[in-house]
A and B are shown apart, each in its own frame.
Chain A
């Protein structure tokens, strides 16, 4: 997705897709539903092992979600494309994939665990 023209107003709705972060311009002006700001960690598990996610909350909104630790038997390469999807789009040769993945489930559980701590 190409970046939309940046409006002069303070709200920049498509900030998640902006190529660079400009600290003078807070990307999310509106307040999200999470009570605490900061970085929170959570765990999720699958048959193949455990995944730890880290979620950053700013202004009550999720601004990033990442795999913090991957303790699965296989590498987390399979879900490398997932974390950005929490705040931005999934990009690959295809726009989207139909059919859930087990590692994605574990990542979801880890995200939920982390988000519960920001409530």
Chain B
């Protein structure tokens, strides 16, 4: 059973492999209910974390500068993860956006079809260091006027929550705009085959992977640009410029949230430092440069079906 919805600026697809001849792991009604519950996570997390609705929990938080604001367990989890990656990458990944970017027209509702992604520009010098977390009280305090862009992390978190919903079914796949989680086996009973988009040739693959019970995400310089920007959408938050030493980064990790954030961070850090970050975090990755040189972690080679 496969269902897709348009959500979080992408198309989210949930694919539950149903058994053809063997006894299914659960009744068909259960499959249906779990697929719907999995998709509901996308809607729920978007409602919580969207920057485009002033009533979202995220924007309510951004309206209270300087105060320690109690937040839901879900929002706390997402924010604290984003800040942890920011710290570990020395700010190469940074979820904070200066508020004056918002006042310059980067705040249009994406559901109208006119999508503008806010660049992570440090226009007024804010950074992740301006976010204070208190795990005991479960509060978030923004020390300066800023807005958190949790887009990619929230999307990864939604994939992970959807995966948790589907785990009893064993064999399933979740695709949120190329951010993937693969559970168990594909309909042919083999590990899922995942192609990695070629960063320079539309429609071609640069490698393919055999994966099971893991997440994979790719950040590329071909991704959607904002309407009035000339560069690609990944900026180095520390400098405000577009990194040019990497064409794409693919990360295979236990969670989609980690795979997505670490792919972005490694993209900004470049091949050498990026690979170090991935190794330090215990995840696998493939970094492709604009000249199509490949840098990969040791474990990546075993999952990679090369020459495809």
Contacts and interface: CB of A to CB of B under 8 A. Distances in A.
B295 to A, nearest CB: 17
B202 A78 contact: yes
B244 interface: no
> By CB atoms of chain B within 10 A, which of A94, A101, A113 has the most?
A94
A101 B197 contact: yes
B115 A95 contact: no
Interface in B178-235: 178-180, 182, 186-187, 192-197, 199, 202-203, 205, 208-209, 216-218, 220, 222-225
A59 B50 CA distance: 28
> By CB atoms of chain B within 10 A, which of A43, A85, A97 has the most?
A97
Contacts of A68: none
Interface in B1-19: 1-6, 9-11, 13, 15, 17-19
B180 A98 contact: yes
B13 A113 contact: no
Given A99-B248, A105-B224, A116 B193 contact: no
Contacts of B202: 74, 78, 101, 103
Contact of B2 (A3, A89, A101, A113): A89
Contacts of A62: 4-5
B5 to A, nearest CB: 8
Interface string A27-59: 000000000000000111001000000000000
B212 to A, nearest CB: 11
> By CB atoms of chain B within 10 A, which of A42, A77, A100, A113 has the most?
A100
B4 A86 contact: yes
Nearest to B110: A112
Interface in A63-119: 74, 77-78, 82, 85-90, 92-105, 107-113, 115-116
A4 B19 contact: yes
A110 B112 CA distance: 10
Interface of B: 1-6, 9-11, 13, 15, 17-20, 24, 28-29, 31-32, 111-115, 173, 175, 177-180, 182, 186-187, 192-197, 199, 202-203, 205, 208-209, 216-218, 220, 222-225, 248, 250
For the complex of A and B, the 8 pairs showing the least CB-CB separation, nearest first, are A99-B197, A99-B218, A94-B195, A1-B187, A113-B113, A100-B178, A2-B20, A98-B218
11 contacts: A4-B18, A4-B20, A11-B28, A92-B195, A96-B194, A98-B179, A98-B180, A98-B196, A98-B197, A101-B178, A101-B202
